[in-house]
Amino acid sequence: MAHRELFDRSPIRLFDQISGGGLHAGELGLIASRKGLGKTSVLVQFGIDALLKNDGVVHVSFDQRSENVMTWYADVFSEIAKKKNAAFPENMLAELVRKRVILNFSQDDAALSRVAATIAALIGSGVGTRTVLIDDLDFAKVSADELQKLSDFAKQRTISVWISTATDDTALSRILATDLLPFIDIVALLESKPDALVFELLKVHGDAKPSATLKLDSKTLLIIEYK
């Protein structure tokens, strides 16, 4: 019951409202931002949301140790619970993360194939997986063929895949190369504006010019409102 309550009141429900129900099974989504702006925090919000649905989550990191990733989950979960002004069981996070697997990879031209093969092996061994988070992917090392293979894998396994990447660009055409864009179903840009930290949708399910922006709490990095 506590899981369902927190899920219903999760900040991600705001994202769902402006994105056609969010990232669907079999789809790939991208979170882009300048390095250090908070893309990992947003990625973890999607991870916790999936865990609250009782979905298995695999979190893949290219530049952080497992202990750092675990700290992100603890901190973001704590902020979500505090924002909802409700008391939840102390062991709730521990119960949730039992369905989370953290993997660390070095990135090369075949990294996505290795990620997919590892996840397939996990599923084959009985580890339920419905959401995959890939943190800090360098798209300069990703070919269209590799991304298509990941997209095909997600569709075959009915898995939703969120990817984050560091970029100084703000235009969709410069964040993703033309040959990579067709494989990404949702693209969101995390950007610092003079008056707020915003999460702007650049592509949603085929719409390359959606007019939707989320505002984030500058301290907690939680999604707090949309316009």
Spatial CA neighbour of 147 closest among 129, 165, 126, 124: 165
pLDDT of 4 > 90? The answer is no
d(CA 22, CA 129): 18
Q: Say if residues 141 and 108 touch (Cβ distance below 8 Å).
A: yes
pLDDT of 227 > 50? The answer is no
Instruction: Report the 10 Å Cβ neighbour count for 33.
Output: 24
Tell me: the pLDDT tens digits for 57-70?
Answer: 999 998 767 788 88
Q: How many domains does the chain fold into?
A: 1
193: tokens are: 């504006």
d(CA 109, CA 101): 23
Whole-prediction pTM value?
A: 0.92
Tell me: the pLDDT tens digits for 91-123?
Answer: 788 888 899 999 988 888 788 999 999 999 999
154: tokens are: 């997600």
CATH number at residue 192: 3.40.50.300
173: tokens are: 């055409």
Q: What is the pLDDT of residue 88?
A: 61
pLDDT of 225 > 90? The answer is no
Tell me: the pLDDT tens digits for 139-181?
Answer: 999 999 999 999 999 999 999 999 999 999 999 999 999 999 9
Where is pLDDT greater, at 77 or 32?
32
Long-range contacts for 92-99 (Cβ within 8 Å, ≥24 apart)?
92/2, 92/3, 92/6, 96/3, 96/48, 96/51, 96/52, 97/51, 97/70, 97/73, 99/51, 99/54, 99/55, 99/56, 99/57, 99/128
Which range marks the domain in which residue 178 is found?
Answer: 2-226
pLDDT of 209 > 80? The answer is no
Q: What is the pLDDT of residue 1?
A: 45
DSSP string covering 37-60: SSHHHHHHHHHHHHHHTT--EEEE
